[in-house]
Chains A and B, each alone.
Chain A
Amino acid sequence: MVKLKTIVLRSTAEFQMIKITEEIRSFIEECGVQNGIAAVISAHTTTGIMVNEGLECVETDIEELLERLVPKDMPYAHAHFLPSYGATGSNSPSHLKSMLSGNSCMFVVQNGKMISGDAQDVYLSEFDGPKSRKVHIQVIGE
């Protein structure tokens, strides 16, 4: 059995970590799959899907680390007009943060429940907001 849900979120800042743990947990419990795997996948190239402890201090450290690793003002190549968009791309830091965080995560589904550690939360991380964003949750199993 394969079940899919797409959630739409609207970020409100350029950098933002939005918890989506409960949306994932709820869909797993209602989708009918008892045992299998749940995949959480972002539909974008300037966001990330992260699993980490849902504390504000941890979020701050993640943001500050990414800012140190990917400074705003560097001679990035992705800073020119893009005919395929009809717009100028100059958001390389957003793409690089997305690369560092990855765009998906997975969880075990057992007895119709999401199996996760007590400290684990799932985030959609926004690196180029504010924007409307889509996250796909696909549950595969029986």
Chain B
Amino acid sequence: MIIDVHTHPIFHKAISEDKGVLDYRKQQFGIYKQSPAPIESVLQEMDYMGVSRSILLPIDLTTQSGGWIVSNEEVRTITELAPDRFIGFASVDPYRSDAVEVLDRAFRVLDLKGLKLHPSKQKFYPNDDIMKPIYKKCLEYDKPIMFHAGMSWEPDAPAKYSHPLHFEDVAIAYPELRMCLAHFGWPWIQETVMLLLKYPNVFTDTSILHMDNALDFYKQVFKTNMGPLWIERNLNDKVMFGTNSPRFKAKRLLPALEAMEFRPKTLQKILGGNAEVFLGERRNERPWLN
């Protein structure tokens, strides 16, 4: 069972009929030369790589640029096409006056399973007081947060907002709030590792392919920047498989991950088991991590 915890459904045909909306998404996300694909193609690509489920992430940019890189409603539209294959997340712009209402509706009415926030693109610091009602709403519904962390390839998305250390106050203040600091917080790998090591509620994902090919880059990050056994020994409950599709693809990342020579049990946790814990579908077998 493989769960891809990090996909942006920008090019799903079911939500791409309006060219203006699609162009806005492409410009804001910084993704080009790809075209909308029907649900059959998306599922075929997942099947080919053995991915059983994918988390779909929207981004609300209402106060930043007046739109969404996929809206909560569009995520719901896609999940309804294949409810056993897609896990829809919500997003909310923290600066909109109705932020809490939007999020409540996303969880209660749209039945979305978590929250996506992008501090760099949405231009907020994770430990800002403005975020408190949003975190409390997630706790009320027991929903996890997928935070962008580290460098973003999206235009107009300064990395300073997404430095991993800004998440530490949140991890301390809300120990029951499960959060993923995506992309290993690259380039701040050591800081991300510190948070993963110390805080049971902090996770990360493997959606990094910023340089090299996937095999070379994973070797650099997982075996050189990090001690070669750190994931195996210390972080095997904290790392989740994620691609950041359509920017990076499972076709490249999965074979590279499988070449890292993790124990089969560790690889299985990374590919899906840790995602189930993050999503709240099951508790960790190690109670001190719950």
Whether the Cβ atoms of A12 and B29 lie closer than 8 Å is: no
Give 1 or 0 for each of A7-18: 1 = CB within 8 Å of chain B CB.
000101110000
| Cβ of B286 under 8 Å from chain A | no
- In the assembled complex, the Cα of A33 lies from the Cα of B77 at a distance in Å of 46
Question: CA A90 – CA B211 in complex, angstroms?
Answer: 10
Q: Is the CB of B251 within 8 A of A12?
A: no
Q: CA A90 – CA B210 in complex, angstroms?
A: 11
User: Quick one: closest A residue to B210, CB to CB?
Assistant: A81
How far is it, in angstroms, between the C-alpha of A13 and the C-alpha of B48 when the chains are bound?
Answer: 7
Please name all residues of chain B whose beta carbon is closer than 8 Å to the beta carbon of A14 when the two chains form the complex. Answer: 48, 251
Is A85 touching B32 in the complex (CB atoms < 8 A)?
yes
Kindly identify, within residues 1 to 35 of chain A, every residue whose CB is under 8 Å from any CB belonging to chain B.
10, 12-14
For the complex, is B44 an interface residue (Cβ under 8 Å from A)? yes
The answer to whether the Cβ of B216 comes within 8 Å of any Cβ in the partner chain is yes
B213 in contact with A85 (CB, 8 Å): no
Q: Provide the bound-state CA to CA distance between A142 and B21, in Å.
A: 45
The closest CB in chain A to the CB of B247 belongs to A87
Contact assessment for B248 and A132 in the assembled complex, using a CB-CB cutoff below 8 Å: no
Chain B: residues with Cβ within 8 Å of the partner, total of: 26
CB–CB B48/A88 < 8 A: no
Given A79-B212, A81-B153, A132-B37, A87 and B248 contact (CB-CB distance below 8 Å): yes
Q: Which residue of A10, A13, A90, A129 contacts B252 across the interface (Cβ within 8 Å)?
A: A90
Tell me, yes or no, whether A68 is within 8 Å of chain B by CB.
no
Which residues on B sit within 8 Å (CB–CB) of A88?
209-211, 247-248, 252
**Given known contacts A79-B212, A80-B211, is B29 in contact with A86 (CB within 8 Å)?**
yes
> What 0/1 pattern do residues 122 to 158 of B give for CB contact below 8 A with A?
0000000000000000000000000000000100000
B99 at the interface (CB under 8 A from A): no
B210 CB, min distance to chain A CBs, angstroms: 6
Of B30, B40, B210, B213, the contact of A76 (CB 8 Å cutoff): B213
B33 and A84 form a contact (CB under 8 A): yes
**0/1 string, A62-100, CB within 8 A of B gives 1:** 000000000001001001110011111011000000000
Residues of A within 8 A of B30 (CB): 86
Q: A130 on the interface (CB 8 Å rule)?
A: yes
Q: Does B31 contact A (CB under 8 A)?
A: yes
Query: Which 3 A-B pairs have CB atoms at the shortest separation, nearest pair first?
Result: A86-B31, A90-B213, A79-B213
